[in-house]
Structure formats: structure tokens, C-alpha cells
Chain A
């Protein structure tokens, strides 16, 4: 697992209060991990803070799963 994936999963576990084994690449924040739309906004903010990037709203809307977040950050973080 990449360093970015590990950091993403740690943030998801902390913010959504879910068990680590549930946080798979395919896990959807809303459908599988109990997040609501506000949780999604906060998760994106946490990714921005952790990786020092700005995630525009239209990009944020495409980040629905753990894997979406990892691939976006792999492409866009320094």
C-alpha cells in the first residue's frame, strides 16, 4: 500500500469512526462507511490539509470512495 493510501485511510478511520478493515479501496464513504454529505465535505477538507492541496468543488464531487481519494491525491499532491 502506498504512503498516500495509508494516510488517506487513517483520515477516513478517524473522521468516520469506522473499523480499519472496512476501509477498502472500493468502500464508498456514504454507502459503506456511514458518511453523510457533510461528512464528505469534511473528509475532503481533511485531505486538503494533510496533503497540502486544494481540491476544487467539481473534483471533490468525484471523490466518492477511498480509492477515488487515493488516485486523485496520487495525481495531484506534490
Chain B
């Protein structure tokens, strides 16, 4: 199979609009969490979320008008706007602007979302009930569909290769990057824009995920401490929003045009728990087999992994199950492994999580630094693995594994490796 490398990065996260601002704030140990103030939260069990800072575009704020015309924004849910922003950044970073027909048909898009346009569906359902069917806009459906991220990005940039989307709950972003890498490896495309996007934050999603007992409820008065993976006081995840996109490219194609190469996608593994709709299998077998499959594909052993960007959502069950699976995978090498959860800083971006975390994994390689797990005051279990509490860790990082696990028992692991000059 052909080699696939990462040549462009883009993101919009609760820590800011852009890769550099988000990454520098993660390394500063900042949290993107707060109390939502654009809708009523006082009767909700969880009153904390990680929202994108909006503004005029200065100081890392996100100004949607910079990425999509206001009249177009009106027709779509925010996850589509976020995906367009992240894809624009990634393509600009990669310096890839396909203008010939040949370049256009060899460049595809694969951006997923966990839920899609939940807020738009909520609003239009109310409109239907209150005012009847004639009031529904023709843009209601195309503004909510998950694959319309890939649609908008392809239309805006003239990308005529494979146009696809992934929907695997919180594994979406990782599956999108992995599947897109495979399309390139198999020769269906030379370049792919891949990633995930999500804009769930509102009463419907907060109430729905709280009903699943998945969200943090004990830190409503102290939002920035709510996302605390591996800590003994953790009590659920903190919902986030945003998008991450990478430009993936066939290695020789990237080299031939002198592109900057961040890292190579050397491994991608998948598995199913076959256990429960929301709870991870208690023995961590699904996570273990997923990581193992990624290592096998990469042709490396567990001791070759320098850093793991964990799924680590800050739920009581999930964090320890993942930690157990990673310990089992590493065996004797666990003592030299470093693993952290960037969800402590940006929250859980659901369908975008795997994509932004793939980017953090690539940046860990670029900068030789493991981002911190903030709020990890007292680990709930003893482990030989360094969980990078509070402060980033400077270290040689050549190979990174990134985990994502989703409702339905769907698991994805990606392995990235530094490419020697």
C-alpha cells in the first residue's frame, strides 16, 4: 500500500480558532470550559460546556463571517461552518490548491460528525408544531445532514475526488482520518481533507447526554475543574464543540511538490465491543484489540509508542477501562509510556474529538512535547504510566497512538510517526 502523510492542519476549538492558538493554550494548561449563557441551564443536571470563544477574529476568537457568508451561515447548523473553517485552514497550511482537473479529481473530502445538526432539528421540529409544514425552509434538511460538511468543503474548493462522511459517535473523527488515509493508500485519491465537526451544545444535547449519565454534574459552580480525566473526583465528561481537519497526502505526491510533512499515518485499527450501547466493555477488550490492530498495521510493537493521546473523557468507568487496556497492551513497557487526555482542556468534542486529537498527536511529534492532563490532582488508581498531570512534558516523541471510543462500542486507534528528513 502507498504511504500517507499529514501535510496540513486546521481547527476550531473551545480554546480558540486555529491550530497555533489552541495548541499554545493547551500547553499553558488552560481550560475551555464555562457556564453557557446563551440558553437556560438552571434546570439542567449539567450546567458546564466547552464553547468556542466567538468574537471579531482577534485574540484567537472565532468569527464565522471570516469563513462563510452570513446568508450561507443562516442555512446551516454551526458544525458545517466549523468544518469549513477547519478545512480552509488545513488546505492553506498544506499549500494545496487544486486548480487543474487532474488535481481536483484526485483530491477528496471525508469529514464526519457524531450527531449533525441537532439544534436545527430541534428548532424546526418546534416550528412544525407551532406553525405547520409550510413554514419549513428548503434549507432545513441540507443544513443538518452530516455529509454536508464534506459537501460544502468540496464545493468551496473544487475537490472532486471521493466525497464521504463517517458517523461513529465519539470515534467519528478518528475513523474519518483513518478511512481517508486508507483511500489514499489504496489509490482512490492522492490527497484527502479529513476530520470531524460537532455543534451539539444546547438544552437538548445537555439533557439527553445527562439522561445517559454521561456528563459531569458536580462542578456546575466550578466549570474549569469539571473535565478531570483519571482524577478520583471525576464524574462525567464536559461537552465541547468545534472541528478539526487534516490534509492527508500520498508520500511521493507530498515530496514531489515540496510540501511540509508533519508525520506519517502508519497505523489504523478498528474494533467493536459487542457489549453495550453506551458503556464500554468492562474488560477493555474492545479498546485493547483496537490498539493492537493499529500496531499490527503499523508493523511496530507496543514499546515503540512514545506517547498515547487517550480517549480519556473523564467518565468514572471509561478512563480506568482504557488505562487498563493500555497497561495490558504495553506490558513491561508501561513504565516508560506517557499518556494524557487533552479533553481535560478542550472538553469532549464528540464527533470532532478524534480529529482534533489526531492533530494534537501530530503536534506532540512536531514539538517533542506531551500535552498535559489538567485537573489531575489525585489519580483514582495507581499506574506506571505517566499521565502528565497539570504541566506539559518535554520529551522525544517520534511515535504516537491516538484512541477514540464511541457509543455503540465502536473503537478507532491511529498511529502517527515522525518522517525522517
Contacts and interface: CB of A to CB of B under 8 A. Distances in A.
Q: Is the pairing of A and B real?
A: yes
Interface residues of B, number: 9
B135 A45 contact: yes
Contacts of A30: none
Contacts of A49: 135
A15 B240 CA distance: 30
Contact of B69 (A17, A38, A42, A48): A17
Contact of A45 (B69, B71, B134, B142): B134
B139 A42 contact: yes
B138 A17 contact: no
Interface string A38-67: 100110010011000010000000000000
Contacts, number: 18
A3 B51 CA distance: 42
B71 A42 contact: no
Contacts of A16: 71
B100 interface: no
A15 B71 CA distance: 6
A17 B70 contact: yes
Per DSSP, are chain B's interface residues mostly helix, strand or loop, or mixed? loop
B137 interface: yes
Nearest to B137: A42
A15 B70 CA distance: 10
Most buried by A among B71, B134, B135: B71
Contact of B139 (A17, A38, A48, A54): A38
A23 B138 CA distance: 23
A72 B135 CA distance: 20
Nearest to A14: B71
Contacts of B69: 17
Contacts of B70: 17
Interface in B39-58: none
Interface in B122-136: 134-135
A54 B131 CA distance: 13
Nearest to A41: B138
Per DSSP, are chain A's interface residues mostly helix, strand or loop, or mixed? helix
Contacts of B142: 38
Interface string B127-157: 0000000110111001000000000000000
Given A16-B71, A17-B70, A17-B71, A48 B134 contact: yes
Interface string A2-35: 0000000000000111000000000000000000
Contacts of A48: 134
A38 B138 contact: yes
B131 to A, nearest CB: 9
A42 B137 CA distance: 6
B321 to A, nearest CB: 46
A38 B142 CA distance: 10
Nearest to A36: B138
Nearest to B72: A17
Nearest to B70: A17
A13 to B, nearest CB: 10
Contacts of A15: 71
Nearest to B136: A45
A15 to B, nearest CB: 7
Interface string B255-268: 00000000000000
A29 to B, nearest CB: 13
Contacts of A41: 138
Interface in B61-101: 69-71
Nearest to A54: B134
Contacts of B134: 45, 48, 54
Interface in B286-334: none
A14 B71 CA distance: 8
Contacts of A45: 134-135, 137
Nearest to A18: B71
Contacts of B139: 38, 42
* Shortest 9 CB-CB contacts between residues of A and residues of B: A17-B71, A38-B138, A41-B138, A42-B137, A42-B138, A17-B69, A17-B70, A38-B139, A16-B71
Given A38-B139, A42-B138, A45-B135, 14 more contacts: A15-B71, A16-B71, A17-B70, A17-B71, A38-B138, A38-B142, A41-B138, A42-B137, A42-B139, A45-B134, A45-B137, A48-B134, A49-B135, A54-B134
Interface of B: 69-71, 134-135, 137-139, 142
13 contacts: A15-B71, A16-B71, A17-B69, A38-B138, A38-B139, A38-B142, A41-B138, A42-B138, A42-B139, A45-B137, A48-B134, A49-B135, A54-B134
